[in-house]
């Protein structure tokens, strides 16, 4: 989500940074006299760079790679961003509210069903600016395209090829070089200069304008469907337009009088709007998933289980308190959450209740509802509307109560009970068990 940043002036004393034990600054001096030259001194520390020139200290680098230890293909959650900034400011003792960001990279990693390279090749231009090949560093493999404007750059590249991942992953990001792009009153005369600080990245309200910027820029990109065969277009003029319109040079040389008309017709022939809309939904969904605060749960090693036995039926558990301030509150008998739209005989959450938690309480939705869906299901239905996700969650809740045979906990217990019943083994079943199923039974 948030990747590379630049802070031209970090409000911390240069001598303090130069003497910090964590940082190593090589000195620039004249070999004959040993005189120290007045040049910038650079220290590399965990994917970040501290640059000291005179009394000025600057900071740049990838927060994502700093957090992950050198990679940025995993999701970088808002909770991770907040903890990273807090730890960084505490380590080097500076105020993040005074750390003004002068350059920012914002983007998302989008899982796809097919190789992203073929899709990236279809990017033609953004408004009046053409896409061109993106120079990938020699140390890494990859393929991408970039569109450069006066205020920002658009980069789309194959993230799975860059890191050798098995699953297709496409990176879409915007490099903001002029932070006024994010100003709420952009385009109007302002008495004060727009300021965007490191502390702003820890606030939830910051990410709605960033999402809008990403989606608006994506909507302005011209692309085409690579699976369309030009020979399938019967009209010769349309066929020629489709073939020529796939190259940025065609639109650069086209007269203004006919450009809008041909552009509209090209969109009708190329099928790019449908692909763009589907990816826009994926970008928005991924952004919504990453921009919700979550509670970090410490992972504890599960206690050993003998023969995966079911709990004794006579054990009693404490009932959930069904009242709030003395008033009766209907709760779901599966999740324990409040039923927001109660009805006679309703005992579990339904589609409207799940939608309510998504819109009003995103943290509870992520931890207790969306977590019911498997990662495989999420990847398969990534681009589908949210309504389908709500229906799938409701189905999971319903099956947990009305169809215990499909309950994953019961299935895990049953499978290991069957394994144990087959007789003696060289190794205990619990040592060879699937860790995910073992943790499911333990919890």
Q: What is the DSSP string of 143-210?
A: -EEEEE-SSEEEEEEEHHHHHT-SS-EEEEEEEES-GGGG-TTTTS--SS----BGGGGG-GGGHHHH
Q: What are phi and psi of 283, to 5 degrees?
A: -65, -45
CB contact set of 215 (below 8 Å; sequence gap of 6+): 280, 283, 284
* Whole-structure pTM value: 0.63
Burial of 423 (0-12, 13-18, 19+ CB in 10 A): exposed
Positive or negative, the CA dihedral 44, 49, 53, 57 is: negative
Specify whether the backbone of 122 is left (phi greater than 0), alpha (psi in -120 to 50) or beta.
Answer: alpha
Within 13 Å of residue 107, how many CA atoms lie on the same side as its CB?
28
Cα–Cα distances (Å) from 97 to 101, 124, 126, 414, in that order, read: 10, 40, 34, 55
Torsion angle defined by CA atoms of residues 343, 344, 347 and 351, in that order, rounded to the nearest 10 degrees: -30
Residue 59: enclosing H or E segment and its boundaries? strand 56-62
For residue 250, give both structure tokens.
């065609």
pLDDT value, residue 409: 66
Q: What are phi and psi of 423, to 5 degrees?
A: 115, -170
Q: What are phi and psi of 60, to 5 degrees?
A: -150, 160
Q: How far apart are CA 96 and CA 88, in angstroms?
A: 9
β-partners of residue 426 are none
For residue 92, give both structure tokens.
């080097």
DSSP 100: B
Q: How far apart are CA 342 and CA 337, in angstroms?
A: 12
List per-residue pLDDT tens for the chain, 443 residues long. 899 999 999 989 988 998 888 888 876 544 444 444 557 889 999 899 999 988 899 999 999 999 988 888 888 999 999 999 999 999 999 999 999 999 999 999 999 988 899 899 999 999 889 999 886 554 456 689 999 999 999 999 999 888 888 889 999 999 999 888 888 766 555 556 789 999 999 999 999 999 999 999 999 999 999 888 888 888 999 999 999 989 988 888 888 888 888 988 998 898 888 899 999 999 999 999 898 765 544 344 444 434 334 444 444 434 444 444 434 568 888 888 988 888 777 888 988 889 888 888 888 888 889 888 888 888 888 878 888 888 899 888 888 766 655 566 666 677 777 776 766 666 666 666 667 666 666 65
Is there a contact between 389 and 285 (Cβ–Cβ < 8 Å)? no
DSSP string over 224-262: --TT--GGG--SHHHHHHHHHTTSHHHHHHS-HHHHHHH
């Amino acid at each position: 989500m948030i990747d590379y940043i630049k802070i031209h002036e970090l409000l911390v004393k240069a001598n303090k940074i130069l003497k910090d034990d964590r940082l190593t600054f090589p000195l620039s001096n004249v070999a004959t006299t040993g005189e120290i030259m007045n040049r910038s001194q650079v220290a590399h520390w965990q994917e970040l760079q501290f640059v000291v020139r005179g009394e000025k200290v600057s900071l740049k680098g990838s927060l994502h790679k700093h957090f992950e230890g050198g990679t940025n293909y995993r999701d970088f959650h808002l909770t991770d961003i907040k903890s990273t900034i807090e730890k960084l400011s505490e380590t080097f003792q500076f105020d993040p509210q005074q750390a003004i960001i002068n350059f920012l990279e914002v983007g998302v990693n989008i899982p796809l069903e097919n190789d992203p390279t073929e899709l990236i090749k279809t990017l033609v231009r953004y408004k009046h600016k053409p896409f061109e090949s993106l120079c990938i560093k020699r140390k890494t493999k990859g393929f991408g395209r970039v569109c450069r404007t006066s205020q920002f750059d658009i980069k789309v590249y194959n993230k799975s090829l860059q890191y050798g991942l098995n699953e297709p992953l496409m990176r879409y990001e915007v490099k903001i070089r002029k932070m006024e792009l994010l100003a709420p009153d952009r385009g109007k005369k302002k008495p004060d200069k727009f300021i965007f600080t490191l502390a702003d990245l820890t606030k939830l309200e910051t990410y709605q304008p960033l999402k809008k910027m990403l989606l608006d820029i994506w909507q302005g990109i011209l692309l085409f469907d690579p699976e369309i065969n030009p020979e399938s277009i019967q009209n010769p003029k349309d066929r020629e337009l489709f073939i020529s319109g796939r190259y940025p040079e065609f639109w650069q040389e086209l007269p203004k009088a006919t450009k809008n008309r041909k552009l509209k017709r090209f969109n009708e022939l190329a099928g790019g709007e449908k692909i763009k809309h589907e990816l826009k939904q994926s970008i928005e969904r991924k952004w919504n998933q990453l921009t919700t605060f979550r509670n970090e749960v410490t992972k504890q090693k599960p206690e050993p289980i003998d023969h995966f036995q079911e709990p004794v039926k006579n054990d009693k558990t404490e009932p959930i308190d069904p009242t709030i301030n003395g008033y009766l509150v209907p709760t779901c008998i599966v999740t324990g959450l409040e039923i927001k739209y109660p009805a006679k005989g309703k005992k579990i959450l339904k589609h409207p209740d799940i939608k309510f938690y998504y819109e009003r309480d995103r943290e509870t939705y992520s931890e207790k509802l969306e977590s019911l869906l498997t990662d495989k299901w999420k990847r398969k239905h990534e681009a589908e509307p949210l309504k389908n996700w709500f229906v799938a969650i409701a189905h999971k809740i319903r099956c947990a109560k009305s169809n215990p045979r499909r309950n994953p906990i019961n299935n895990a217990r049953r499978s290991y009970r069957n394994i144990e019943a087959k007789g003696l083994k060289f190794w205990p079943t619990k040592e060879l068990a699937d860790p995910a199923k073992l943790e499911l039974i333990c919890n």
